[in-house]
Amino acid sequence: MTDRDVTDLYREFGDERLPPGQRETSDFPVLSKGNRPDPDMDDWEFTVTGAVDEPLTLDWEAFRALPTETQRQDFHCVTGWSRFDCRFAGVPFPALAERAGVHDDACHVMFSALDDYTTDLPLDQCLREEVLFAFEFDGEALPPDHGGPLRVVTPHRYAYKGAKWVNGVEFLTEPEHGFWEERGYSVTANPWAEDRYW
């Protein structure tokens, strides 16, 4: 499994590793919109739909068979804390997109989750190697409180763009708003620009 350090990606967005308005912490607080789901992994499925050549329905074994890598990333929460040097392992978004064959007119991606959470990102912000569907954290299975068995991590965006308990993506030809975006949170969510809310 490839091991990649992407903690210097901040140079693309600003001069400081810690975005403005953030405080560094060694803790990993748990924030969710509601109750934690408890999936039966025998029935777990991940779907890829929308503007793709090959819609996918993958069980856990098939998902884990996709190309994977381990990355050291920073994690930025919109509530004002950042945790440096998180070690996540998972499937890079581009590997999934390549498997499905994304249409030229796709422009956004909607992530869905087992707790009915949704969040969207422009396609170009997803097609980055550091956008991971993560199933491990610090060498262990991703804890359920942090989105296990599978969550998205987006170190170049605030963490509400990284759906916990993710179970599908839809490639969109028009932008749509997800759960927090409908409630006034920023669509762009760039931590170095402090894009927190509308």
Confidence (pLDDT) at 33: 60
Confidence (pLDDT) at 3: 84
Per-residue CA distances from 104 to 107, 110, 112, 173 (Å) = 8, 16, 22, 9
Confidence (pLDDT) at 46: 98
Confidence (pLDDT) at 198: 73
Per-residue CA distances from 151 to 6, 21, 145 (Å) = 18, 25, 11
- 34/153: higher pLDDT: 153
Q: What is the pLDDT of residues 77-92, one digit of tens each?
A: 999 999 999 999 999 9
**Residue 185, domain member (yes or no):** yes
Sign of the torsion angle spanned by Cα atoms 14, 16, 2, 152: negative
Confidence (pLDDT) at 34: 65
> How many domains would you assign to the chain?
1
pTM of the model: 0.94
**Residue 159, domain member (yes or no):** yes
The CA angle 191-194-198, to the nearest 5 degrees, is 120
Split at pLDDT 50, 70, 90, the class of 28 is: confident
Q: Is 83 helix (H, G, I), strand (E, B) or coil?
A: strand
**Residue 34, domain member (yes or no):** no
**Residue 69, domain member (yes or no):** yes
Tokens of 195: 């894009």
Is there a contact between 6 and 72 (Cβ–Cβ < 8 Å)? yes
* Beta-strand relationship, 132-137 and 81-92: antiparallel
Exposure class string for 94-132: b at 16+ Cβ within 10 A, else e: ebbbebbebeeebebbbbbbbbebbbbbebebbbbebbb
**Residue 53, domain member (yes or no):** yes
Cα gap 178→89, rounded to integer Å: 25
Confidence (pLDDT) at 27: 86
**Residue 23, domain member (yes or no):** no
Q: Which amino acid is at 105?
A: D
* Beta-strand relationship, 166-172 and 108-113: antiparallel
Pseudo-torsion of CA 168, 6, 129, 195, nearest 10°?
60
The CATH number covering residue 168 comes to: 3.90.420.10
Q: What is the pLDDT of residues 30-53, one digit of tens each?
A: 766 667 788 889 999 999 999 999
**Residue 29, domain member (yes or no):** no
Tokens of 34: 């509601």
**Residue 27, domain member (yes or no):** no
Percentage of the chain exceeding pLDDT 70: 96
| Domain of residue 149, residue span | 2-15+44-193
